[in-house]
């Protein structure tokens, strides 16, 4: 009886803590989101620095300090290039989006009239759910918000880079026994390995998707091909839904840009084929079974983080899920949660040591 009562109390306490965490994530978004983005940037800078370290010069590896300087400058150049590309295209896309959407409504109504369908919903009603201008404006607002916080984000990044040399000492200080220190280091190593693998492969596959889509859209003659290619690259970091949205919007643009339906079907089929080829064949071969995440859990996680932090949360949802699963797997009390999050219920042997 006492044991059942204790389990009930622990369950209630766990539910209360979960609700409190979600509440703090929503309320503290303005503080936590820049910090999380800074951690992502810090991680990417370390990843690029590692690549510079492997390149070397004259058969000798570059000094670590030089690797980090080159990595930081490279990262700044990438950010600047993305900002300039978005700035040069986003205003034009937002400006013509209502015109495109009005033309699309006319096309829809003409199609219904041609088919003599009177009771079907109009495109204006459908676009209350899927609104091109609203989505692009929302994405632009998210990017603008990140840009507005870029100063504090880079301050966080600089301090993370300065503090990372002391992380090892802090781990040793927190662990009060060699066994616990070994487990903590093993956990950090596993998190770093899986997240690095996920980000590296996702960057490669998303870049390939964006480049191939850009070439295809340019050949067809779609407006703002550079912007759509960048959008496709970014949206591929959002599981499942991102690739669908990345296919729909360029296709809709061709539907209202050209006088015939041929470019629409070309873009719809071409971009879908690129997404299918890379997302269903190339990416799984590269990823393998390393992440072992349930597709259903990924979708639920996407919806959850989208609700908490909007579009930035959608981009961060899978890395956060990977880290959560690794931590849950390593702690005996939370290992059942990791089994539920996994695709096949199998937990890596590293957690059973």
3-class secondary structure, 344 = coil
Residue 140 CB neighbour total at 10 angstroms:
15
Residues 6+ apart with CB under 8 A from 318: 198, 237, 239, 293, 298, 301
Cα dihedral across residues 337, 342, 345, 346: positive or negative: negative
**Alpha carbon 76 to its chain's center:** 20
Rounded CA gap, 45 and 111, in Å? Answer: 51
Rounded CA gap, 42 and 302, in Å? Answer: 23
The pLDDT assigned to 136 comes to 57
The pLDDT assigned to 313 comes to 84
The pLDDT assigned to 58 comes to 63
**Tokens found for residue 255:** 């539907």
Give 294: exposed, middle or buried? Use CB within 10 Å, 0-12, 13-18, 19+.
Answer: middle
The pLDDT assigned to 288 comes to 62
Rounded CA gap, 87 and 106, in Å? Answer: 30
The pLDDT assigned to 117 comes to 61
Q: Are 215 and 229 in contact (CB under 8 A)?
A: no
Residue-wise pLDDT tens for the chain (353 aa)? Answer: 666 666 677 778 878 887 888 888 888 888 888 888 888 888 888 888 888 888 766 667 788 888 888 888 998 888 888 878 777 776 776 777 777 667 766 766 666 666 666 555 554 554 454 455 555 555 566 666 666 677 888 888 888 888 887 776 776 677 677 777 777 777 777 777 777 777 888 888 889 999 999 999 999 888 888 888 888 888 888 777 778 888 888 887 787 777 777 888 899 899 999 988 888 788 777 766 556 777 788 888 888 888 888 878 888 887 788 778 777 777 777 788 888 888 777 665 444 44
**Tokens found for residue 34:** 């820049």
The pLDDT assigned to 140 comes to 60
H or E element, residue 320: helix 295-330
User: In the beta sheet, which residues pair with residue 57?
Assistant: 60
Rounded CA gap, 184 and 328, in Å? Answer: 13
Q: Are 255 and 264 in contact (CB under 8 A)?
A: yes
């Amino acid at each position: 009886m006492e044991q059942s009562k204790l389990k009930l109390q622990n369950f209630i306490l766990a539910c209360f803590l979960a609700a409190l965490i979600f509440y703090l994530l929503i309320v503290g978004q303005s503080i936590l989101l820049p910090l999380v983005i800074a951690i992502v940037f810090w991680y990417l800078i370390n990843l690029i620095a590692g690549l510079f370290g492997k390149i070397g010069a004259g058969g000798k590896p570059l000094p670590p300090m030089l690797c980090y300087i080159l990595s930081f400058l490279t990262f700044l150049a990438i950010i600047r290039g993305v900002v300039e590309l978005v700035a040069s295209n986003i205003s034009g896309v937002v400006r013509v989006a209502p015109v495109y959407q009005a033309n699309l409504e006319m096309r829809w109504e003409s199609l219904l009239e041609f088919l003599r369908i009177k009771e079907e919903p109009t495109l204006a009603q459908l676009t209350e759910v899927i609104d091109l201008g609203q989505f692009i404006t929302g994405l632009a607002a998210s990017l603008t918000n990140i840009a507005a916080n870029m100063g504090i984000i880079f301050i966080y990044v600089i301090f993370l880079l300065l503090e990372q040399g002391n992380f090892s000492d802090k781990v040793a200080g927190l662990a009060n026994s060699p066994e616990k220190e070994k487990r903590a280091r093993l956990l950090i190593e596993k998190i770093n390995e899986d997240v690095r693998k996920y980000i590296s492969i996702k960057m490669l596959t998303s870049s390939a998707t964006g480049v191939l889509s850009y070439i295809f859209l340019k050949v067809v003659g779609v407006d703002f091909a550079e912007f759509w290619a960048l959008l496709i690259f970014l949206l591929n970091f959002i599981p499942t839904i991102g690739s669908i949205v990345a296919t729909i919007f360029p296709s809709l643009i061709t539907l209202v840009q050209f006088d015939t339906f041929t470019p629409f079907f070309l873009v719809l089929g071409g971009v879908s084929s690129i997404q299918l080829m890379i997302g269903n064949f190339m990416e799984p071969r590269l990823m393998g079974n390393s992440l072992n995440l349930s597709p259903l859990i990924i979708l639920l996680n996407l919806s959850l983080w989208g609700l908490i932090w909007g579009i930035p949360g959608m981009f961060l949802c899978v890395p956060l899920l990977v880290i959560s699963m690794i931590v849950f797997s390593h702690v005996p009390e939370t290992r059942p949660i990791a089994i539920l999050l996994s695709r096949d219920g199998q937990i890596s042997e590293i957690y059973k040591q």
